[in-house]
Amino acid sequence: MLLAGCATRPAAPVSVKLLAINDFHGNLLPPAGGIRIQDPADRSRTVSVPAGGAEHLATAVQQLKAKNPHHVFVAAGDLIGATPLLSALFRDEPTIESLSLMGLEASAVGNHEFDKGAAELLRLQRGGCAADGCQGPQPFAGARFQYLAASTVDAKTGQTLLPAYHVKRFQGIPVAFIGLTLKDTPTIVVPSGVEGLVFRDEAETVNELVPQLRRQGIEAIVLLIHEGGVPSGDYNECPGISGPIVDIVGKLDRAVDVVISGHTHRAYNCRIDGRLVTSGDRYGTVVTEIDLVLDPGTGDVISARADNQIVRTASFAKDPRQTALIDAYERLARPLAQRVVGRLGGALPRETNAAGESALGQVIADAQLAATRDAGAQLALMNPGGIRAPLAMPTDGLLRYESLFSVQPFYNNLVTMTLTGAQLLQLLEQQWLNQPTLAGRVMQVSRGFGYTWDASRPPGQRVLPGSMKLDGQAITPETRVRVTVNSFMASGGDNFTVLRQGTDRRTGAMDIDAFEAYVKGNPGLAPGSLDRIARLN
């Protein structure tokens, strides 16, 4: 096989075009706000550029493919999960069909691919109806691209859940695409969905695969990884970058030539440890165009350069096949999506103040408390990562279901449990322990509960002693409190592991249903005072 491959290789270097996306999250329609970039006229400011959506992305991909007959379209995970209603209503089958139609060839598995569990991910790969039947306009055939999961191993069999890599040949020269997700996936998805799976270290996994690939005569290696970094520059540059991807790249075998990353929802075009490292924002607003040059003799990469192309809705026409696909699903979704659920009195932003509170987060926490009073709930806590979009003020003031769903697309049960005051304090401290950023994950809290934290104190000691109060009464270490959270948090998600210790658990309504009931029962909802959490320093 190897000799045959060598015999067909050309004499001159081979140019290959890689096209990459990440964190599409089922945004079949252009996302509100597009992408924010530095204002070309004043780099101290940022501007929003309308971008993204499957129709425009498909056209951009086709136009970029046309530049070079040797091309491949790949992704770095989170193509599905936390999706808008149009995709979520149909178990993300529309997104899988859309990307298949675009010619996507391979993708890393992201953490959100596990939102509905490993079995559902395998169904989306292989096809077939869900347990409650087929909901779409045609039978679901499964993905025509290959999901890759090099670091996700079945604990019983020792085998990867999905293939570790995909190989494509360009004029006889093989290029391997290794795909994997972040090792911390079990801490940010519902644990039951990944039960029995082991998520191995990213760099160790890749480095163990390199000798295997080289034994097959493969020298050109591209990593598709659902982990990333936070840059300090604009969408197509990298004056500085921090985050997990920097450490991972530094540990990779030198045989890895290019790293296509994701997860952080940022766009960057970097050189880290001498290697090209890219990311393409989120929601299909950017497609990364990478040009490789392959040595026909060694089969290795001679050079690699990238250009992050904004998928401007004004520049790329709508692809008619994508339009037809979207129209078919919109006809089925419209009655539910457009259903009026209440009246809004003002926009509810999800941006937080210095203490970590947001107007929208307060409303969600209040809604979850109201929905679980019959389970004895005294306070509710909401993880900020579960709030996926702001609630804009509709022009007619009427709030529709699709807008609510865009805020809370995970469809989690609410779980009410008993914690002691000591456990509640420990839980609050976990907002800054083992979290991905120094800012931590400050939970949104319901009306009647409050506390003070000091940013100058070390993590683990930030909540001021005696500051936790419920309805004006101090919470002592011995106080027993009934606390409501979503099922993701209840199982220890986002590293809020104290919640696993909660007792007398009662499972209640779905989070989106609680939100809808609260909106209906409180017409004219508007932002309140952000005064439940106080911050010092």
The per-residue pLDDT for range 353-375, each reduced to its tens digit, is 999 999 999 999 999 999 999 99
Average pLDDT value for residue range 37-60: 95
The per-residue pLDDT for range 60-101, each reduced to its tens digit, is 999 999 999 999 999 999 999 888 889 988 999 999 999 999
DSSP of 484-508: EEEHHHHTTGGG-GGGGG-EEEEEE
- Distances in whole angstroms, Cα of residue 22 to Cα of each of 71, 173, 272, 308: 18, 26, 19, 12
Which residues are within 8 A (CB) of 473 and not within 5 positions of it... i.e. 6 or more apart? Answer: none
CA distance 282 to 285: 6
Lowest mean pLDDT among 6-10, 117-121, 482-486, 505-509: 6-10
Give the per-residue pLDDT at 3. 42
Percent of the chain with pLDDT over 70: 99
Lowest mean pLDDT among 79-88, 413-422, 426-435, 462-471: 79-88
pLDDT at 301 over 90: yes
pLDDT at 246 over 80: yes
- Name which of 75, 18, 21, 32 is nearest 310 in CA terms: 21
Average pLDDT value for residue range 473-482: 96
Give the per-residue pLDDT at 86. 92
Give the per-residue pLDDT at 383. 96
By the 10 Å C-beta count (0-12 exposed, 13-18 middle, 19+ buried), 415 is classed as: buried
- The whole-chain average pLDDT of the chain stands at 94
Alpha helix stretches (DSSP H) within 35-138: 54-65, 85-88, 93-102, 118-126
Percent of the chain with pLDDT over 90: 87
Give the per-residue pLDDT at 1. 37
Position of tokens 């010092």? 536
Average pLDDT value for residue range 318-342: 94
Collapsing DSSP states into helix, strand and coil, what is residue 159? coil
Give the per-residue pLDDT at 508. 84
By the 10 Å C-beta count (0-12 exposed, 13-18 middle, 19+ buried), 350 is classed as: middle
Contact 106, 224 (CB under 8 A): yes
Average pLDDT value for residue range 318-335: 96
pLDDT interval class at 411 (50, 70, 90): confident
Give the per-residue pLDDT at 325. 98
- Distances in whole angstroms, Cα of residue 531 to Cα of each of 300, 516, 535: 59, 24, 10
Number of neighbouring beta carbons within 10 Å of residue 60 = 26
The per-residue pLDDT for range 479-519, each reduced to its tens digit, is 999 999 999 999 898 999 999 999 999 888 889 999 999 99
Give the per-residue pLDDT at 506. 87
Lowest mean pLDDT among 83-87, 124-128, 202-206: 83-87
Average pLDDT value for residue range 145-153: 98
Give the per-residue pLDDT at 525. 93
Average pLDDT value for residue range 127-154: 93
Give the per-residue pLDDT at 4. 41
CA distance 21 to 167: 18
By the 10 Å C-beta count (0-12 exposed, 13-18 middle, 19+ buried), 314 is classed as: exposed
